[in-house]
């Protein structure tokens, strides 16, 4: 899931930060496809066959028409999902299938599988700053399956992972 999501963010970034011919060349996609993707107003680009769900919960469905789905996504009504491998997990279709296929381990038959939001919108975000201790407190709500540490790393633009020193031998 994480590698798939990183690839999708990179793909969306290339489309957002280049003109259509440049993005098409970098991605090795037809210009007509990149043109349609570039017209989507949101950063994370949706593809035909993408597994989406009403946000923050609801029944899975597929992107059948990119422009209509992208408008619903921009309004925070739907969100794309990524595959958590397993036997009963819903697979993407059509164009989105080819983006997901490389990250699908079909031999994980002991796992049920599922899907996880690829894009979330935090709610109830509140901050308070204590100037004496120089401490910032951030309170927020994320949907089930989201990672608070990833959210904090993204807004803080730093890693929360503990760095370990290598000892010299």
Helix axes of 31-38 and 20-27: crossing angle, nearest 10 degrees: 120
Report the alpha-carbon distance of residue 132 to residue 13 in Å, rounded: 39
Q: What is the pTM of this model?
A: 0.84
At 40 the pLDDT is 97
Buried b (16+ CB within 10 A) or exposed e, 111-147: eebbbbbbbbeeeeeeeeeeeeeeeeeeeeebeeeee
Task: Return the pLDDT at 167.
Answer: 53
From first to last of its 169 residues, what are the pLDDT tens digits of the chain? 999 999 999 999 999 999 999 999 999 999 999 999 999 999 999 999 999 999 988 999 999 999 999 999 999 999 999 999 999 999 999 999 999 999 999 888 788 999 999 999 999 999 999 999 999 899 999 987 788 888 888 888 888 887 766 655 4
Structure tokens of 5?
């999501």
| CB neighbours of residue 9 within 10 Å | 15
Strand, helix or coil for residue 61? strand
């Amino acid at each position: 899931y994480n590698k798939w999501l990183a690839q999708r963010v990179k793909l969306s970034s290339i489309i957002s930060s280049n003109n259509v011919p440049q993005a098409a060349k970098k991605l090795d996609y037809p210009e007509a496809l990149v043109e349609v993707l570039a017209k989507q107003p949101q950063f994370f680009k949706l593809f035909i066959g993408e597994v989406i769900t009403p946000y923050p919960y609801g029944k899975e469905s597929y992107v059948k028409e990119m422009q209509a789905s992208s408008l619903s996504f921009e309004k925070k009504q739907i969100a794309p999902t990524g595959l958590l491998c397993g036997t009963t997990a819903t697979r993407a279709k059509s164009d989105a299938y080819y983006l997901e296929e490389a990250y699908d381990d079909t031999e994980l038959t002991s796992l049920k599988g599922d899907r996880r939001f690829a894009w979330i919108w935090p709610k109830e975000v509140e901050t308070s700053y204590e100037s004496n201790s120089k401490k910032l407190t951030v309170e927020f709500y994320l949907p089930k399956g989201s990672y608070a540490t990833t959210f904090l790393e993204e807004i803080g633009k730093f890693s929360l992972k503990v760095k370990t020193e290598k000892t010299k031998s």
